[in-house]
Structure 1
Amino acid sequence: MRTPSSFWAEVVLPSIRAKVAKILYSKGYSQIKIAKELGVTQAMVSKYLSKYTLPELLEPIEDEIDTIALTIAEMMEKNAGKEDIIKVLERKFFDLLLDEKFCRLYEKYSGVRGIVCREILPGTSRKEILDELAKALDILLKDEKFPELIPEIRSNFAHSIPNPKSVNDVAAIPGRITLVKGKPYAMPPEFGASRHTARLLIKISRYNPSIRAVLNVRFGEDVKNALERSGLKIYYLSKENRSEEETEDEIAGAFREESWDVVVDPGGYGVEPCVYIFGRDPLEVVGKLKKIEQNL
């Protein structure tokens, strides 16, 4: 029987491995080292690098696969433990069970109604939410390019439980991410630590419950050019004066019909322009940030 987990293992994971192999190879890793990192043979790595192409079935979620691959490659470069990488991959699978595109592709693969994906999803504990945000934050704080993207208002990074109802259902960074002697610094994440990003995720969840993480960075001409080259789906708000809550409502409204990777608020009188990067979880957000950084 073709289950969602078999679709993930037989079709999606090989595509992620192939993309991770190509990323690591482009950064100077040998085929032998890549094989060791991925837990496959060198012959398989050679196939990934020379012959592998994304199955046509997976084209609708290629951006998601790219983002996962960037995240995993980044963790491998930072010598993350295999247990942490495995946990990230499995959580990505659970996140995709909420994704309508993934469910439709599973239906094509199996002949079983895609709705079964969402009906098997387990609950998510608050400890898991904090752990996921802390892992992504650690990568962010070690990112050499991130300091130049912190806005004057500082950055915050938030992650919610499924279907959040109040600010206490959203974990974020107390006091935001700031710069200390030119390096990013942050307190450990806590629930109820941010009103703005929390309200934003709560409002978006009414239209797209799979979006549960957000990071804000600065906006400028260099960032605009990088965004346009990144391949991410971008929504631009109109440039006008709004209250914070009006901005939240307008961003959330953009998710009523479509899902966006990035929303740009060009600001208004006395309001700093800002870029919001969204994802299903914090590591996906970091993966999207990496795509932007690669084009800066």
Structure 2
Amino acid sequence: MSLVLPSELVVERFLPTVRAMLARRLADRGLTQQEIAAHLGVTQAAVSKYVGGDGAGDEHFRDDAETVATVDRIADGLAGGEFDGYDALAELVSLIRTLEDRGPICELHEEEMPELRGLGCDLCVRGLDPDVRTERDVLSTVRTAARTLAAIPGMPEYVPNVGTNVGMGLPDPRDETDVAAIPGRIYAIGGRIEIPANPEFGASKHVATAILAATAVDPDVRGAINIATDDGVLEAARSLGIEPLEFDADYDDREAHLRSRFDDRGEVPLVAYHRGAFGIEPVTYVFGGDAETAVELVHDLLGATS
């Protein structure tokens, strides 16, 4: 794991880019290299390099509209005498805070630390927050569940044509952005399971609506996976003491429909399925307390079919 602080990116990537942008803009406004060096707190040789460079700096900032606007504002202020060093610094500090709030600094941070991807990280803005730990735990659980799923013998045969997904919600999820799943779904390719990316929140609509319906009835049921409907799997569920719940495939509001059916049952069934409809592939949802538990049940169901 690489440990990179956002401040390192500010020093190593942001500041050199902004200095180069400012140097060229101040030169365009008629300032000498010596005057520019005094404003920027660098040597005249550095200014010469900045001014002579072509497209120098990091494109994350060089092409960012907010950065361009701030640099232009500072250049105008310094060249016209309305800004001093304090004013320029205040503008840059404000800009950095903006860029750390889901901006280019965030993008760079995720590139340098892939562990942050999918977290919707706002650590720089919000500070240490126990909710972030919960989000990380959910993402980790879904990641492990997906890898476990890929290793289940015979699993590719039960992946629907539209793909499958495994997801898990945060405690008391409000909407699909509180449910983590695999972006782009999981597919069976060449007899093996293909997991295209690490889990992210808001990555799945279908499995998320099933999880939201389940947690609305039983907050302890936060994980689910969809697989192809198969009579052998349904019989395997019954042999394990699980009575599958059949529901309609053709409905407008999936979450509301599932919640109503769960309410009718008086609980969230571990297995719920539909037989499909025109343009709708038959699908079975397998539920669990978390994503790993749901996948473990899939493993048991497939094992019981053989």
Return the TM-score normalized by structure 1.
Answer: 0.54
Is 1:183–2:179 an aligned residue pair?
A: no
2:261 to 238, 254, 259: 254
Please show how residues 144-293 of structure 1 align to structure 2 within 5 Å.
144-186=153-195, 187-238=197-248, 241-243=250-252, 245=253, 247-256=254-263, 257-293=266-302
Q: Who is 1:7 aligned against? A: none
Higher relative contact order (CA 8 A, sep 6+): 1
Q: For the structure 1 residues 178 and 262, does the alpha-carbon distance in structure 2 shift closer, same or farther, using more than 3 Å as the test?
A: same
- Pairing of 1:5-84 with structure 2 (within 5 A): none
Kindly indicate whether the alpha-carbon contact (under 8 Å) linking 2:213 and 2:259 is maintained by their aligned counterparts in 1: yes
Report the Cα offset of residue 222 of structure 1. Answer: 2.6
Match of 1:27 in 2: none
Q: Distance in 1 between matches of 2:258 and 2:146?
A: 24
User: What SS does the aligned partner of 1:217 have?
Assistant: strand
Hey, what's the Cα distance between the residues in 2 that align with 1:286 and 1:233? Answer: 18
CA contact (8 A) 1:213 1:285 kept: yes
User: Any conservation in 1 of the 2:229–2:282 contact (CA below 8 Å)?
Assistant: yes
* Structure 2: stretches of 5+ with no match in the other structure: 1-129
Give the deviation of 1:196 after TM superposition.
2.1
Distance 1:145 1:231 in 2: 22
**1: distance between equivalents of 2:221 and 2:255?**
14
Distance of 2:199 and 2:227 partners within structure 1: 18
State the SS of the aligned residue for 1:255. helix
SS in 2 for 1:158: strand
Q: Which one has a bigger Cα radius of gyration?
A: 2
CA distance in 2, matches of 1:166, 1:283: 21
Give the secondary structure class of the aligned counterpart of 2:217. Answer: coil
Give the distance between the partners of 1:179 and 1:197, measured in 2 at CA: 17
In the alignment, the residues of structure 1 paired with residue 260 and residue 210 of structure 2 have an alpha-carbon distance, to the nearest angstrom, of 10
> How many residues are treated as equivalent by the alignment?
172
Contact 1:154 1:177 in 2 (8 A): yes
CA shift for structure 1 position 266: 1.5
**After the TM superposition, which residues 45-124 of structure 1 pair with which residues of structure 2 at under 5 Å, given as runs?**
none
The Cα of 1:182 is off from its aligned counterpart by: 1.7
Q: What amino acid maps onto 1:265 in structure 2? A: H
The answer to whether the aligner puts 1:131 opposite 2:140 as a matched pair is yes
CA distance in 1, matches of 2:301, 2:213: 25
Contact kept in structure 1, 2:245 and 2:272, CA below 8 Å: yes
Deviation of 1:199 after TM superposition, in Å, equals: 2.5
Q: Distance in 2 between matches of 1:224 and 1:255?
A: 18
Percent of residue pairs identical: 27
Question: Structure 1: how far apart are the matches of 2:255 and 2:175?
Answer: 15
Q: Report the CA distance shift for 1:270/1:205 in structure 2 as closer, same or farther (over 3 A).
A: same
| Residue deviations 1:1-25 (CA, integer Å, cap 9, x gap) | xxxxxxxxxxxxxxxxxxxxxxxxx
Q: Deviations over 1:264-295 (max 9, x none)?
A: 11111221111000111012102211221122
Match for 1:237: what amino acid? F
Deviation at 1:219, TM superposition (A): 0.9
Identify unmatched segments of 5+ residues in structure 1. Answer: 1-121
Displacement, 1:236? 1.1
- What is the CA-CA distance between 1:224 and the residue it aligns to? 2.9
**Secondary structure class of the residue paired with 2:193:** strand
RMSD: 1.9
1:215-254 Cα distance to aligned partner (Å, 9 max, x none): 000013333332332322321114x6323x2x33222223
